[in-house]
Amino acid sequence: MAITAPRVLVVAGSDSSGGAGLSRDIEAIAAFSLHTALAVSAVTVQTHRQVLAVEAMPPALVADQMRAALEANPVGAIKIGMLATKGTIEAVASVLHEHPHLPAVLDPVLAASSGGALLEPDAVAALTHDLMPLCRLITPNLQELALLAGSQSVRSGEEALHQGRNLLDAGAPAVLVKGGHGSGTWSTDILLRPDSEPVRFEALRLNRSLRGTGCMLASAIAALMALDTTLEESVRRAKQFVHDRIGCGA
Ligand code: PLP
Dist. CA 154–CA 59, nearest whole Å: 32
* Cβ–Cβ < 8 Å for 116, 82: no
Residues in the chain: 250
Residues 6+ apart with CB under 8 A from 23: 14, 15
pLDDT, greater one: 14 or 116:
14
Percent over 70 (pLDDT), the chain: 98
Atom of ligand 1 nearest to the CA of 111: 11
Query: Quick one: pLDDT band at residue 3, thresholds 50, 70, 90?
Result: low
* Single-letter code of the amino acid located at 23: S
Q: Whose CA is nearest to atom 5 of ligand 1?
A: 21
Going 176 to 181 to 184 to 187, the CA torsion angle's sign is positive
On the question of pLDDT at 157 being above 60, the answer is yes
Atom of ligand 1 nearest to the CA of 213: 15
2 in any annotated domain? no
Largest Cα–Cα distance of the chain, in whole Å? Answer: 56
Q: Give me the number of domains the chain comprises.
A: 1
Name the residue range of residue 173's domain: 7-248
Query: Quick one: pLDDT band at residue 150, thresholds 50, 70, 90?
Result: confident
Residue 3 Cα, ligand 1 centroid: separation in angstroms? 34
Atom of ligand 1 nearest to the CA of 210: 15
Domain of residue 147, CATH code: 3.40.1190.20
Q: Whose CA is nearest to atom 2 of ligand 1?
A: 21
pLDDT tens-digit series, residues 159-173: 899 999 999 999 999
56 in any annotated domain? yes
pLDDT at 191: 98
26 in any annotated domain? yes
Q: Is the CB of 44 under 6 A from ligand 1?
A: yes
pLDDT, greater one: 94 or 113:
94
If you average pLDDT over residues 234-238, what whole number do you get? 98
Q: Is the CB of 51 under 6 A from ligand 1?
A: no
210 in any annotated domain? yes
Dist. CA 13–CA 38, nearest whole Å: 10
Closest to 63 measured CA to CA, from 80, 46, 77: 80
Dist. CA 67–CA 56, nearest whole Å: 18
1 in any annotated domain? no
Dist. CA 142–CA 176, nearest whole Å: 10
91 in any annotated domain? yes
Q: Which of 118, 138, 210 should be mutated for ligand 1, with most atoms under 8 A from CB?
A: 118
